[in-house]
């Protein structure tokens, strides 16, 4: 009787062991499949970034300004590729962030293509116009050139005087208790404050101020709310922004940067812009 009972217990234990082994094998298989899938996603993203890098490498123009912008974007692509390679495939939030940055860089490249095509078209038109102008009388051409220079100089002086400027740019780090801190491990958000100075010549109405915050490694800090803006026709990615009503009088404003996963020790730099000009920059040290 006891032997039969013992056999039943052993059989039950064996069945439980087999079931547990099967469950563990199933979990291991599922985990392995997920890791393989995430690894494949990372590899595909890397290949897309390398393809974008090749696309940027193939772009060129006859204009120094655009070439300088292209060099800057190429550097951003290279840095993003290095960040992707160093990121674990299982870090889904980072991989998704890189996918968004890939989309932004693709959009910027399309803007470059449009700019280059537009400038080439404009250059052809200007060449044709110049050929027609050369057929005119020398005196008429001289007077036209002098008038154009005068108008350009006057327009430049007016435009320069109408540019909005800023002062007192400061960046500070805050902890979860909403207090200023310089400890990198305690930072939950950054606050940039500045003042748009009085300027009666500047256009009145809504003005959006953009900030670009870079960490100690020189990489731009962004979150899911990142946006792009145009600075003198150049597309740029910003960390955060805020719109204020500017009526020619001095305006103080604050811009928060939230949802950055972690902060490293070192020097952080913030640059402030409107779509017309760079307002200035400031630094902050975290330890």
Q: How many CA atoms lie within 13 A of 232 on its CB side?
A: 8
How do residues 221-267 score in pLDDT, each as one tens digit?
A: 999 878 899 988 889 999 999 999 999 999 999 999 999 999 999 99
How do residues 77-88 score in pLDDT, each as one tens digit?
A: 788 788 877 777
Q: CATH number of the domain at 161-286, please?
A: 2.60.40.10
60-64, 106-110, 145-149: segment of lowest average pLDDT: 145-149
The answer, yes or no, to whether residue 102 has pLDDT greater than 80, is no
What is the distance between the alpha carbons of residues 170 and 254, in angstroms, rounded to a whole number?
Answer: 10
- Looking at per-residue pLDDT, the higher value among 122 and 246 belongs to 246
pLDDT, position 157 = 42
The answer, yes or no, to whether residue 217 has pLDDT greater than 60, is yes
- Which pTM was predicted? 0.46
Mean pLDDT over each residue of the chain, to the nearest integer:
81
Contact residues for 84 (Cβ-Cβ < 8 A; gap 6+) = 42, 45, 46, 49, 95, 98
The answer, yes or no, to whether residue 39 has pLDDT greater than 80, is no
Query: Strands 240-246 and 205-214: what pairing?
Result: antiparallel
Please give, one letter per residue, the 3-state secondary structure of the chain.
CHHHHHHHHHHHHHHHHHHHHHHHHHHHHHHHHHHHHHHHHHHHHHHHHHHHHHHHHHCCCCCHHHHHHHHHHHHHHHHHHHHHHHCCCCCHHHHHHHHHHHHHHHHHHHHHHHHHHHHHHHHHHHHHHHHHHHCCCHHHHHHHHHHHHHHHHHHHHHHHHCCCCEEEEEEEEECCCCCECCCHHHCCEEEEEEEECCCCCCCCEEEEEEEEEECCCCCECCCCCCEEEEECCEEEEECEEEEEEECCCCEEEEEEECCCCCCCCEEEEEEEECCCCEEEEEEEEEC
Task: Please return the burial class of 155, using the count of CB atoms within 10 Å of its CB with bins 0-12, 13-18 and 19+.
Answer: exposed
What is the distance between the alpha carbons of residues 21 and 27, in angstroms, rounded to a whole number?
Answer: 10
pLDDT, position 215 = 96
Contact residues for 63 (Cβ-Cβ < 8 A; gap 6+) = 116, 119
Centroid of chain to Cα 174 = 22
The full length of the chain comes to: 287
2 confidence band (pLDDT: 50, 70, 90): low
Using alpha carbons, select from 2, 98, 118, 119 the residue that is nearest to residue 46.
Answer: 98
What is the distance between the alpha carbons of residues 107 and 43, in angstroms, rounded to a whole number?
Answer: 22
Within the chain, all domains assigned CATH 2.60.40.10 are found at: 161-286
70 confidence band (pLDDT: 50, 70, 90): confident
């Amino acid at each position: 009787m006891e032997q039969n009972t013992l056999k039943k217990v052993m059989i039950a234990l064996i069945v439980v062991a087999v079931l547990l082994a099967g469950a563990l094998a199933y979990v291991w298989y599922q985990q392995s499949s997920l890791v393989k899938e995430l690894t494949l996603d990372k590899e595909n993203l890397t290949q897309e970034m390398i393809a974008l890098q090749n696309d940027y490498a193939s772009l060129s123009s006859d204009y120094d300004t655009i070439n300088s912008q292209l060099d800057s974007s190429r550097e951003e692509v290279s840095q993003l590729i290095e960040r992707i390679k160093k990121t674990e495939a299982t870090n889904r939030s980072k991989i998704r962030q890189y996918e968004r940055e890939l989309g932004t860089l693709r959009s910027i490249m399309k803007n470059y293509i449009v700019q280059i095509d537009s400038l080439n078209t404009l250059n052809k038109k200007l060449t044709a116009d110049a050929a027609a102008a050369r057929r005119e009388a020398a005196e008429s051409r001289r007077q036209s050139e002098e008038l154009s220079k005068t108008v350009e100089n006057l327009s430049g002086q007016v435009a320069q005087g109408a540019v909005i400027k800023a002062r007192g740019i400061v960046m500070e780090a805050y902890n979860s208790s909403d207090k200023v801190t310089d400890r990198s491990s305690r930072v939950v958000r950054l606050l940039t404050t500045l003042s748009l100075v009085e300027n009666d010549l500047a256009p009145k109405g809504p003005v959006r101020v953009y900030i670009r915050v870079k960490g100690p490694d020189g990489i731009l800090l962004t979150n899911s709310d990142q946006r792009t803006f145009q600075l003198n026709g150049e597309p740029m990615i910003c960390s955060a922004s805020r719109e204020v009503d500017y009526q020619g009088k001095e305006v103080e404003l604050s811009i928060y940067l939230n949802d950055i996963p972690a902060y490293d020790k070192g020097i952080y730099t913030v640059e402030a812009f409107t779509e017309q000009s760079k307002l200035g920059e400031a630094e902050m040290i975290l330890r």
